[in-house]
């Protein structure tokens, strides 16, 4: 953790506080939460539904802020993150800490009083998981950091479902499993092409510690259970054929891209590095699969 002297910084702009919440990454987190809510068998009042999604967004943003508060030293050493408000000197660490803690508390309390206990409890677990288990405990210690810590990002579909029903069930647990198993291929694909950044910052990400070959193989290995979990809701009768069809096709494309990453490095005729293609596709994939789940539920309900 960094202890930086911050002499007379100008007051941070609202854009700096927004940047602390990692808004681009959180769009997908919020989307999976929304889809978990809309896939539930019971409806939720639109105002309560909106409040629940707002709480997921605020909680995830708070976790992002606390992550940046804790790892300003790492962010300062990586090209990709150097321009964030703390390493760039646009904000002092205390403001980031107060903002993160305040927003986290607000999101959980609002979820509890406006929505229900189950959603508030899972939101609390996911914030603590991202900040304490991933950021503070695992990220600097083990290349398995994102496998275990990545579970934090898999909770939102469960939160959304719990907001509507007050409980958890098999379908949202499978959605949790899907995002959990999706995270290693998603992140390690990126880590393959920003490897030097992590090496410079001393973060033990898999390509840095175990090398490219192992990372490529691990991406392939995690894709197998991910693919099974992605399609499983259909044969189990938890979704209709629309989800089944979309999940099968988009997962097959994911598996094909992962297989290329697992088996070879860039060729001169590649338009894009295979790992870059897999990383970009991984994001589109989750949007499409979760979107299909909701359309399926509303078409076949």
Q: Of these partners, ligand HEM, ligand FPP, none, which one is at the site of residue 32 (CB under 5 to 8 Å by kind)? A: ligand HEM
CA separation for the pair 61, 252 (Å, rounded):
32
Q: How far is the CB of 243 from ligand FPP (least distance, A)?
A: 23
Q: What is the DSSP letter of 9?
A: P
Per CB under 6 A, which of residues 57..96 are in contact with ligand FPP?
59-60, 63-64, 67, 81
Q: Closest CB to ligand HEM among 283 and 295?
A: 283
CA separation for the pair 250, 117 (Å, rounded):
35
Q: How far is the CB of 186 from ligand HEM (least distance, A)?
A: 6
Per CB under 6 A, which of residues 134..163 are in contact with ligand HEM?
134, 146, 149-150, 153
Only segment of 27-35, 166-174, 246-254, 257-265 that touches ligand HEM (CB under 6 A): 27-35
Q: Which two tokens stand for residue 17?
A: 């506080």
Residue of minimal CB distance from ligand HEM? 153
Only segment of 118-126, 181-189, 247-255, 261-269 that touches ligand HEM (CB under 6 A): 181-189
- What does the angle CA 61 – CA 62 – CA 68 come to, to the nearest 5 degrees? 90
Buried residues in 26-41 as b, exposed as e (16+ CB within 10 A) = bebbbbbbbbbbbbbe
Q: Give the x/- contact pattern for ligand FPP in 189-228, rule: CB under 6 A.
A: ----------------------------------------
Q: How far is the CB of 130 from ligand FPP (least distance, A)?
A: 4
Q: What is the DSSP string of 244-300?
A: HHHHHHHHHHHHHHHHHHHH----TT-SS-HHHHHHHHHHHHHHHHHHHHHHHHHHH
Only segment of 35-43, 88-96, 151-159, 287-295 that touches ligand FPP (CB under 6 A): 151-159
CA separation for the pair 85, 92 (Å, rounded):
8
Work out whether 190 is an interface residue with ligand HEM (CB under 6 A). yes
Q: Closest CB to ligand FPP among 35 and 232?
A: 35
Q: How far is the CB of 139 from ligand HEM (least distance, A)?
A: 8
Per CB under 6 A, which of residues 54..93 are in contact with ligand HEM?
80
Q: Give the x/- contact pattern for ligand HEM in 203-242, rule: CB under 6 A.
A: ----------------------------------------
Dihedral angle of Cα 203, 209, 215, 217, to the nearest 10 degrees:
-150
Work out whether 163 is an interface residue with ligand FPP (CB under 6 A). no
Helices (H), the chain: 14-20, 23-38, 46-70, 72-77, 93-110, 117-128, 145-149, 156-165, 170-193, 195-201, 206-209, 212-231, 241-263, 274-300
Query: How many CB atoms sit inside 10 A of residue 125's CB?
Result: 16
CA separation for the pair 70, 74 (Å, rounded):
9
* Residues of the shown chain interacting with ligand HEM in the complex, contacts defined by CB under 6 A: 24-25, 27-29, 32, 80, 134, 146, 149-150, 153, 179, 183, 186-187, 190, 283, 286
* Residues of the shown chain interacting with ligand FPP in the complex, contacts defined by CB under 6 A: 22, 25, 29, 56, 59-60, 63-64, 67, 81, 123, 126-127, 130, 139, 152-153, 155-156
């Amino acid at each position: 953790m960094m202890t930086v002297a911050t002499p007379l910084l100008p007051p941070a702009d609202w854009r700096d506080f927004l940047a602390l919440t990692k808004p681009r990454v959180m769009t997908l987190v919020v989307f999976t939460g929304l889809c978990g809510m809309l896939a539930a068998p019971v409806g939720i009042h639109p105002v309560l539904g909106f409040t629940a999604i707002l709480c997921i967004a605020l909680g995830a943003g708070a976790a992002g802020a606390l992550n940046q508060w804790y790892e300003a030293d790492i962010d300062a050493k990586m090209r990709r993150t150097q321009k964030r408000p703390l390493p760039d000197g646009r904000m002092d660490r205390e403001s980031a800490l107060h903002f993160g803690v305040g927003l986290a508390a607000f999101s959980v309390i609002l979820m509890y009083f406006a929505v229900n206990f189950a959603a508030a409890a899972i939101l609390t677990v996911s914030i603590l998981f991202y900040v304490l288990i991933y950021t503070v405990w695992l990220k600097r210690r083990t290349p398995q950091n994102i496998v275990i810590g990545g579970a934090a990002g898999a909770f939102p579909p469960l939160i959304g479902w719990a907001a509507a029903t007050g409980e958890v069930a098999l379908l949202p647990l499978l959605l949790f499993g899907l995002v959990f198993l999706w995270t290693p291929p998603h992140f390690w694909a990126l880590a393959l092409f920003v490897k030097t950044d992590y090496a410079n910052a001393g973060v033990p990400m898999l390509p840095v510690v175990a090398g490219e070959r192992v990372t490529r193989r691990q991406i392939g290995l995690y894709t197998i259970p991910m693919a099974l979990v992605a399609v499983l809701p259909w044969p189990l009768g938890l979704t209709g054929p629309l989800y089944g069809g979309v999940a099968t096709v988009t997962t097959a494309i994911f598996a094909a891209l992962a297989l290329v990453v697992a088996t070879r490095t860039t060729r001169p005729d590649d338009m894009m590095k295979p790992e870059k293609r897999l990383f970009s596709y991984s994001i589109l994939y989750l949007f499409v699969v979760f979107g299909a789940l909701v359309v399926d539920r509303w078409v076949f309900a």
